[in-house]
Amino acid sequence: MGLNWDCVDQIEEEKKFITYKVVELENKKVGFELVVRGEKMVLTPEQVMASFLRRAKTYFENAGMMAKEMVISVPTYASNAERQAYLDAAEIAGIKCVRLLNESTAIGYNYGFFRKADLTKDVPRKVAFVDFGHSKLCVTFAQFLQGKMKIIYTYSDRNMGARQIDYLLFDLFGGEFNKKYGCDPRPNVRCRLRLLDAIEKMRKLLTSNKEADINCDSLMEDEDFHKHFKRTDLEELITPFLERFKTVVSEAYEKSGLKDKLDFIELVGDATRMPAIQEILKEIFPGKELSRTLNSQETVARGCALQAAMLSPNFMVQNFEVQDFQQHPIQIQYKFSNSEGALTESDIFTIGTSYPSTKTITFANKLGALDLLIKYHEASEILPGLPKQIAQYRI
């Protein structure tokens, strides 16, 4: 969501898992080319998301609820352009998005709101949430008091999910098949899908079993692909991935400033079920039990539902105060049109600023019109290719 044609590396990464042709649109955005009933058409990611939202809306309506307004979760790493894409999707679907909520914050809502009895008013409980899912990893450190949550630190890697592991297996198996039968299933969309699907099933089996089989009947040119695979083979193949995972989580833990101060470690994404991942987490958080008290499938949606109920006048919900974490530093640049001299630039929100928060700036000089630019800091870790600019005003 929100990518444009300049996000070259990320588009290449996504293409591995997309079956439709990815094309550049006139406005430099990304589109998917597909053929529907013999007719070629191009859909934007926003339109695809809008149809998901419309479908979700019908579920609510069938349950007798009006769903004109929604709280929509976004990946925590999303920058302004990516968030805007979700808002556009909601608009296309005819839904008013009353708030975009970071996935990690939604998880925190769900954790803190329902545990009022377990939490105290003055001794904060410090929790690490490790959300390792199909496409991404997000590590969040938060502290909870009764009716209060503060996100202390959060870090996401948008390209560190179980699908990356599947792709390593896909490359290995595809290469083996090619060597044996002289035909390569990897560039073929249908074969790629079938093989990736069988690989995911095998990978899940290797969580509870030390060995598993992968079977793909007539994968290509009537040749079958069968293989017996061991968990140790998998772990050996993905060693560099596991090392990267360890580095990312350890660095986030270090930066959180909560070393040896954590009370609980909560695992969220379903890919955290992999034994090798759990071993690494036990090493990073020694002596701590890895808990799984949140329902991985529902926790983000439940967090959004809670936020929606809080924002709605139709529900009476106890107050839950949230201080979120600003991940990308934001700057303001301004200049009066009749003044001499350079643009004034200053940081308004640094990394780690709690929000919601307000900043008041007084402009003493009033020489002509004021040109204002709000943007992410050059050093911010916005995905390469995405615009740094957030808003521009002439007053």
Ligand X SMILES: Nc1ncnc2c1ncn2[C@@H]1O[C@H](COP(=O)(O)OP(=O)(O)OP(=O)(O)O)[C@@H](O)[C@H]1O
Binding residues for ligand X (CB under 6 A): 133-136, 161-162, 200, 203-204, 207, 269-271, 273-274, 296
> Least separation, in Å, of the C-beta of 38 and ligand X?
33
**Residue 135 vs 353, nearer CB to ligand X:** 135
Q: Which is nearer to ligand X, 101 or 258 (CB)?
A: 101
Distance, in Å, from the CA atom of 44 to the CA atom of 161, rounded to the nearest integer, reads 24
Q: Where are the alpha helices (DSSP H) in the chain?
A: 8-15, 45-62, 80-92, 103-113, 162-181, 189-208, 231-237, 239-256, 275-284, 299-311
Q: Give ∠ CA 87-8-84 in degrees, rounded to 5.
A: 10
Residue 126 CB: number of other CB atoms within 10 A? 16
> Taking Cα atoms as reference points, which of 98, 110, 130 lies closest to residue 314?
98
Helix (H) or strand (E) holding 373: strand 370-376
Query: Whose CB is nearest to ligand X?
Result: 133
Tokens of 368: 């002509």
The pair of structure tokens assigned to 342 is: 């350079």
Binding-site partner at residue 54 among Mg ion, ligand X, none, CB < 5 to 8 Å by type: none
CB-nearer residue toward ligand X: 229 or 334: 229
Least Å distance between CB 243 and ligand X? 19
Rank residues 33 and 298 by Cβ distance to ligand X and give the closer one: 298
Partner from Mg ion, ligand X, none binding residue 270, C-beta < 5-8 Å depending on class: ligand X
Any residues with CB less than 8 A from the CB of 126 and at least 6 apart, and which?
141, 142, 143, 152, 258, 261, 262, 263, 264
| Residues that contact Mg ion, how many (by CB under 5 A) | 1
Task: Give residues 122-151 in contact with Mg ion (rule: CB under 5 A).
Answer: 133
Minimum CB separation of residue 135 from Mg ion in Å reads 8
Min separation Cβ 221 and ligand X, Å: 28
Name the binder of 97 from Mg ion, ligand X, none, CB < 5-8 A by kind.
none
Partners of 326 in the β-ladder: none
CB of 179 to ligand X, least distance (A): 27
**Least distance from C-beta 100 to ligand X, angstroms?**
16
- Please report, as ranges, the residues that interact with Mg ion according to CB under 5 A: 133
